[in-house]
């Protein structure tokens, strides 16, 4: 049965992590997979998370099943975090999923089960898992222009020109903030124009927001998504607690459905739960219970918000330091984009030879396409990273 299978393609991010682990060089630097690391190079368990875990261990009454939608307190808290006060709040319904990838797949399956001929438009470039997840659900994937490789900025004119061509058989997949892989975010004016185009042409916006709180702040990072939620009749959202709660391995995320009426949302939610039953059945509870406890407890929530803000400020400081060191060492301002970008990642435009030389000659690991995880750096790594980039003629 299995011998005729072709050799599987390696995942570009996860395979890099495996190579990094095997590299015996002590000076190696991992700027690949999207995890936050502190100044000691550790991905910390946030203090509010640890407290909620301890309390869970002592007070959780049972491990009996919860249900297809997971933890409803968590679902409400996720909806509040993104949508409270928006016009669509009352029409929104969240379902806990295994990470944001689980939410992407659930919503893709939902779309395919209703309209199998839908085309999903993703940015060029986009998160490496967007296309595979959408195609696995049977949807067609096409790209809209997004990033100008020369300026390292979003080309909003080209992006909006393509989006203006979309219609009722199209879904537009957007990154809520901290674009993965480029680090280039779109302006509020562009979000407004996207809302107008969705209203005029009838395509369905779908926002993947996996980095809320890692750009300019928790609320600021949701501003574009909230603008859409105020304007359009239908909206899909996938969200994640991997980054902003540091719960990567707990696979804690949510799919949020907003339909044009409460009744339609209830029907869509029902279909999505049927799809969940046919795949993983129920989502894992551990991370969602922790998040629900933090967001439902004033003191723990305040502690989490403080810690998240410190992480966010540190990422933005790393961006500034990187830019300054590049300025000094290269005698140019061509790397200033590092401080203009937001979130974990920046796309550097390195080609495959440069990426291989970085890894082989300098022990610096970056993802194909030249994505650098700025949030994975220690302050003390910056001189070596800058030297390595300049040595490969970045
Ligand atoms: C990344 O882009 O590095 C992360 O989101 C990890 C993943 O699941 O791909």
What sign does the dihedral 50-256-155-191 (CA atoms) show? negative
Residue 113 lies in a domain: yes
End residue of a domain, out of 296, 326, 348: 296
Residue nearest to atom 2 of ligand 1 (CA): 34
Query: Could you tell me if 122 and 143 are in contact, meaning their C-beta atoms sit under 8 angstroms apart?
Result: yes
Residue 168 lies in a domain: yes
Domain CATH code at residue 318: 3.90.1150.10
Distance 233 CA to ligand 1 centre (A): 30
Residue 328 lies in a domain: yes
Q: Band the pLDDT of 64: cuts 50, 70, 90.
A: very high
For the CA of 14, the nearest atom of ligand 1: 9
Q: 209 and 305 in one domain?
A: no
Q: 188 and 292 in one domain?
A: yes
Residue nearest to atom 5 of ligand 1 (CA): 34
Q: Which domain holds residue 292?
A: 65-296
Burial label for 340, CB within 10 Å (0-12, 13-18, 19+), is middle
Distance 299 CA to ligand 1 centre (A): 30
> For the whole model, what pTM was predicted?
0.96
Q: Which of 34, 243, 366 to mutate to test the pocket of ligand 1 (most atoms within 8 A of CB)?
A: 34
Q: How many domains does the chain have?
A: 2
Q: 334 and 259 in one domain?
A: no
The tens digit of pLDDT for each residue in 122-153 reads 999 999 999 999 999 999 999 999 999 999 99
Q: 307 and 266 in one domain?
A: no
For the CA of 11, the nearest atom of ligand 1: 9
Q: 376 and 237 in one domain?
A: no
Q: 190 and 116 in one domain?
A: yes
Peptide bond before residue 256 is cis, with ω within 30 degrees of 0: no
Distance 332 CA to ligand 1 centre (A): 31
Q: 151 and 32 in one domain?
A: no
The tens digit of pLDDT for each residue in 300-316 reads 999 999 999 999 999 99
Residue 1 lies in a domain: no
* pLDDT surpassing 90 at residue 393: no
Q: Which of 129, 178, 345, 369 to mutate to test the pocket of ligand 1 (most atoms within 8 A of CB)?
A: 129
The tens digit of pLDDT for each residue in 215-245 reads 999 999 999 999 999 999 999 999 999 999 9
Q: Quick one: pLDDT at residue 244? A: 98
When the pLDDT of each residue in the chain is averaged and rounded to a whole number, the result is 97
Q: 328 and 264 in one domain?
A: no
End residue of a domain, out of 237, 268, 296: 296
* pLDDT surpassing 90 at residue 207: yes
For the CA of 99, the nearest atom of ligand 1: 8
């Amino acid at each position: 049965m299995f011998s005729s299978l072709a050799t599987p393609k390696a995942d570009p991010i996860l395979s890099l992590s495996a190579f990094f682990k095997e590299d015996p060089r002590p000076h190696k630097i991992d700027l690949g997979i999207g995890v936050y690391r502190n100044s000691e190079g550790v991905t910390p368990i946030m203090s509010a998370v640890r407290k909620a875990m301890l309390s869970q261990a002592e007070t959780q009454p049972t491990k009996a099943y919860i249900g297809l939608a997971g933890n409803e307190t968590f679902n409400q808290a996720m909806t509040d975090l993104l949508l409270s006060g928006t016009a669509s709040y009352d029409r929104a319904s969240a379902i806990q999923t295994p990470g944001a990838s689980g939410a992407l797949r659930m919503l893709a399956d939902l779309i395919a089960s209703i309209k199998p001929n839908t085309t999903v438009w993703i940015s060029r470039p986009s998160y490496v898992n967007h296309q595979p997840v959408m195609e696995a659900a049977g949807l067609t994937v096409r790209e809209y222009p997004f990033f100008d490789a020369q300026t390292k900025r979003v080309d909003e004119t080209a992006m909006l020109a393509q989006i203006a061509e979309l219609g009722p058989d199209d879904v537009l997949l957007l990154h809520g903030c901290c674009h993965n892989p480029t680090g280039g975010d779109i302006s509020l004016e562009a979000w407004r124009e996207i809302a107008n185009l969705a209203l005029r042409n009838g395509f369905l916006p779908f926002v993947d927001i996996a980095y809320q709180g890692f750009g300019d702040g928790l609320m600021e990072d949701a501003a574009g998504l909230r603008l859409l939620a105020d304007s359009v009749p239908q909206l899909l959202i996938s969200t994640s607690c991997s980054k902003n709660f540091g719960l990567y391995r707990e696979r804690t995320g949510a799919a949020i459905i907003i339909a044009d009426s409460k009744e339609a949302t209830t029907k869509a939610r029902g279909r999505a739960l049927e799809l969940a039953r046919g795949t993983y059945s129920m989502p894992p509870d551990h991370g969602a219970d922790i998040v629900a406890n933090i967001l439902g407890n004033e003191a723990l929530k305040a502690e989490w918000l403080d810690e998240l803000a410190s992480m966010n400020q540190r990422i933005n400081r790393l961006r500034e330091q990187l830019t300054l060191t590049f300025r000094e060492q290269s005698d140019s301002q061509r790397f200033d984009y590092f401080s203009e970008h937001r979130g974990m990642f920046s796309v550097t435009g390195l080609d495959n030879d440069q990426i291989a030389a970085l890894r082989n000659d300098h022990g610096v690991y970056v993802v194909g396409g030249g994505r650098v995880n700025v949030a994975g750096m220690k302050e003390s790594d910056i001189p070596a990273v800058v030297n390595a980039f300049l040595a490969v003629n970045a």
